[in-house]
Chain A
Amino acid sequence: MIATESLSKRFPRVTALDRLSVDVGPGVTGLVGANGAGKSTLIKILLGLSPATEGRAEVLGLDVATKGGAIRERVGYMPEHDCLPPDVSATEFVVHMARMSGLPPTAARERTADTLRHVGLYEERYRPIGGYSTGMKQRVKLAQALVHDPQLVLLDEPTNGLDPVGRDEMLGLIRRIHTDFGISVLVTSHLLGELERTCDHVVVIDGGKLLRSSSTTDFTQITTTLAIEVTDTDEHPDGTRAVREALHARGVSVEDGSGLPGAGHVLLLTAQGEETYDVVRDVIADLGLGLVRMEQRRHHISEVFTSTDEREQRKEAVGHGG
């Protein structure tokens, strides 16, 4: 779908992309990076709208430097910023954008009606966009990217500004773009956690450099960290220690949650899948302790590297996760 080769983009003051080589296949791919990592810059280059300083990139097998028009006919784009005029209805707006993509008038109207229904806009679509909630606006932005039935959509931070429910709905929708509509997706975010659940593949960039590109199954195995905290009992005056030892005996490695609130009472362990949860439950029950909390920690991009051999690399590349 997308291939870049040593792609760089330098602005007078910053290097937005630094010799990035990455391959993106069909399916849903997450592009993760902190603010300023170069995500939006990459998308602009892929759309053929901004020339790369050096290197090459291909989208759907077409060179971005020479085939921009052909690429843009087959690709959809949802920008990160607001882009909707408030004084027209979603229907009028999306019909217009469909025609700008080359759809004949009748097809533009039919596809608009279909697409708005697929993204979950019904009666509202005849009202001016100015009165929409953020969630509805994001859906309109998504609809205009899908209306011409592209082969690939580039979604720049589609969950931006959404509350947790809206976020989940948007992520579900993105998943369906691939499974139900057969359209491949490149979606950016600065949260790895939310993309893990949605994507088949995740590409992490930082400072314009590729940090990692791998399928999400790899990621979840590495990154699901559990924090647990237990009560003490008479039998086990130091419950935390008892759990650590018991877990250790069963082959689960545990770290102290020294950086966390309530340090000394919090244990961090890496979940290898459903079994780990069962082991923890059994261990605590056997010891007769009470479980104060067990939570799955939110992953920040930097955490991807804490429990891997890339720890050193991370220290150089990311500095500290925030």
Chain B
Amino acid sequence: MAVEHSTGTAAPAPGDQTRIHNIGYRKYDGPRLGRAYARRSLYSQSLRGSYGLGRSVKSKVLPMLLFVVMCVPAAIMVAVAVATKANALPVDYTRYAIIMQAVISLYVASQAPQSVSRDLRFKTVPLYFSRPIETADYVRAKFAALASALFILTAGPLLLLYVGALLAKLDFADQTKGFAQGLVSVALLSLLFAGIGLVIASFTPRRGFGIAAVIAVLTITYGAVSTLQAIADAQGSGDAVPWIGLFSPITIIDGVQSAFLGATSASPSGVGPSTAEGVVYVVVALGLIAASYGLLMRRYKKVGL
């Protein structure tokens, strides 16, 4: 009844919020590091989570396995190059990710939903936004984390190739240039794939659908684009080939790197876009990344609380 309400001799005087009340409860007067720190924490937690670190053993299996699968061919190439004293690596640095695109797609498809769908499905998002961080902080942290995870996945094997090439005493300047071009290419690829993967995942809170949708978008666009390119090439309308390539993420990367990063195109004709067309590729790639960011912002503005 009414009496028990007023028992608290411990009740604070108005405005006196810092007093220590009962033994047992300790007030916190340490630092509060605010928004930027929270964003960094979310970034590192999400990045670690993309490789299953800090999560269950089961969640570690797939990302770790994909990382190993990504690196094994590179390791074999290096071993062969060193053993046979070859005078070049069997593939260009820029070509490696194109060859391994299925593994990269699988990785995005599994980790993008892991990163954002859980928060949506279990309605954890409102808890983030009830704290100092804002929509932009959440989106940037998640975007940067998945892009970084993808960069680790794609740059890891390149590093292996580079170290192997130096061990095999291949030309240092050549190798360094190729490696650098490869790194630029996979950096762009990481941003592009992370953006596309996150947008799809953020609109499919059910994790299974998210995985399927990401795989579908990446493989169907690639399948359609390369089929059309092959037909165009066979019918002698090779001029159309570079333009068709703008419609799938991996062929966009291929176009950019064959125009500007010394790569030979992996398209059926083997001919990449001209420099002018290459500019369009770069614009489209950056435009897609920006659009992904914009869509994610819109998505999370809606979720709010």
Listed in ascending order, the chain A residues whose CB lies under 8 Å from chain B are 25-27, 44, 47, 49-50, 69, 72-73, 75, 77, 79, 81-88, 92, 96-97, 99-104, 107, 111, 114, 118, 144, 148-149, 151, 178-184, 197, 199-200, 216-217, 220-221
Whether the Cβ atoms of B28 and A182 lie closer than 8 Å is no
**Bound form: Cα–Cα A200–B9 in Å:** 14
Residues of B within 8 A of A100 (CB): 38, 41-42, 127-128, 131, 133
Q: Chain A CB within 10 Å — which of B20, B22, B119 has the most?
A: B22
- Segment of B10-18, B80-88, B243-251 engaged in the interface with chain A: B10-18
**Bound form: Cα–Cα A187–B35 in Å:** 27
A96-B41, A179-B8 given. 6 additional CB < 8 A pairs?
A26-B14, A79-B127, A83-B124, A85-B119, A100-B42, A216-B2
Whether the Cβ atoms of A180 and B54 lie closer than 8 Å is no
Q: Chain B CB within 10 Å — which of A69, A87, A182, A220 has the most?
A: A182
| A-contact 0/1 string along B49-76, CB 8 Å cutoff | 0000011100000000000000000000
Residues of A within 8 A of B28 (CB): 103, 107, 111, 148-149
B27 and chain A: residue at smallest CB distance: A149
8 A Cβ contacts from B22-58 to A: 22, 24-28, 30-35, 37-38, 41-42, 45, 54-56
Minimum Cβ distance to chain A for residue B131 (Å): 5
A181 and chain B: residue at smallest CB distance: B25
Residues of A within 8 A of B24 (CB): 118, 180
Whether the Cβ atoms of B10 and A180 lie closer than 8 Å is yes
B21 in the interface (beta carbon within 8 A): yes
Minimum Cβ distance to chain B for residue A39 (Å): 13
| CB-based closest 9 A-B pairs | A149-B28, A77-B130, A179-B8, A102-B32, A180-B22, A99-B41, A102-B33, A217-B2, A182-B21
Whether the Cβ atoms of B21 and A47 lie closer than 8 Å is no
Minimum Cβ distance to chain B for residue A272 (Å): 12
Residues of A within 8 A of B35 (CB): 69, 102
A151 and chain B: residue at smallest CB distance: B17
**Bound form: Cα–Cα A99–B46 in Å:** 13
Minimum Cβ distance to chain B for residue A51 (Å): 11
Whether the Cβ atoms of A25 and B14 lie closer than 8 Å is yes
B302 in the interface (beta carbon within 8 A): no
Known contacts A114-B26, A118-B25, A200-B5: does B32 contact A148 (CB below 8 Å)? yes
Known contacts A96-B45, A179-B8, A217-B2: does B127 contact A144 (CB below 8 Å)? yes
Whether the Cβ atoms of A47 and B54 lie closer than 8 Å is no
Whether the Cβ atoms of A81 and B123 lie closer than 8 Å is yes
Q: How large is the interface on B (under 10, 10 to 19, 20 to 34, 35 or more residues)?
A: 35 or more
Known contacts A49-B304, A79-B305: does B122 contact A84 (CB below 8 Å)? yes
8 A Cβ contacts from B172-207 to A: none
B134 in the interface (beta carbon within 8 A): yes
B129 in the interface (beta carbon within 8 A): yes
Residues of A within 8 A of B276 (CB): none
**Bound form: Cα–Cα A220–B119 in Å:** 42
B11 and chain A: residue at smallest CB distance: A179
Q: Chain A CB within 10 Å — which of B27, B42, B129 has the most?
A: B129
B140 in the interface (beta carbon within 8 A): no
Residues of B within 8 A of A87 (CB): 55-56, 118
B32 and chain A: residue at smallest CB distance: A102
Whether the Cβ atoms of A84 and B124 lie closer than 8 Å is yes
**Bound form: Cα–Cα A199–B2 in Å:** 9
Whether the Cβ atoms of B124 and A102 lie closer than 8 Å is no
B40 and chain A: residue at smallest CB distance: A99
**Bound form: Cα–Cα A116–B177 in Å:** 54
Residues of A within 8 A of B54 (CB): 92
B132 in the interface (beta carbon within 8 A): yes
Whether the Cβ atoms of B38 and A102 lie closer than 8 Å is yes
Residues of B within 8 A of A144 (CB): 127
Minimum Cβ distance to chain B for residue A218 (Å): 9
Residues of A within 8 A of B12 (CB): 26, 182
Residues of B within 8 A of A148 (CB): 28, 32
Whether the Cβ atoms of B1 and A50 lie closer than 8 Å is no
**Bound form: Cα–Cα A100–B141 in Å:** 12
Known contacts A101-B131, A102-B132: does B38 contact A182 (CB below 8 Å)? no
Residues of B within 8 A of A182 (CB): 10, 12, 17-21, 25, 27
Minimum Cβ distance to chain B for residue A248 (Å): 25
Whether the Cβ atoms of A83 and B123 lie closer than 8 Å is yes
Whether the Cβ atoms of A103 and B14 lie closer than 8 Å is no
**Bound form: Cα–Cα A181–B22 in Å:** 7
Residues of B within 8 A of A73 (CB): 32, 34, 131-132
B262 in the interface (beta carbon within 8 A): no
Residues of A within 8 A of B122 (CB): 82-86
B126 in the interface (beta carbon within 8 A): yes
Q: List 29 A-B contacts (CB under 8 A).
A: A44-B305, A49-B304, A50-B305, A69-B35, A69-B132, A69-B134, A79-B123, A79-B127, A81-B123, A84-B122, A85-B122, A85-B124, A86-B122, A87-B56, A99-B45, A100-B38, A100-B131, A101-B32, A101-B132, A102-B38, A103-B33, A107-B28, A114-B25, A149-B27, A182-B10, A182-B17, A182-B21, A217-B5, A220-B2
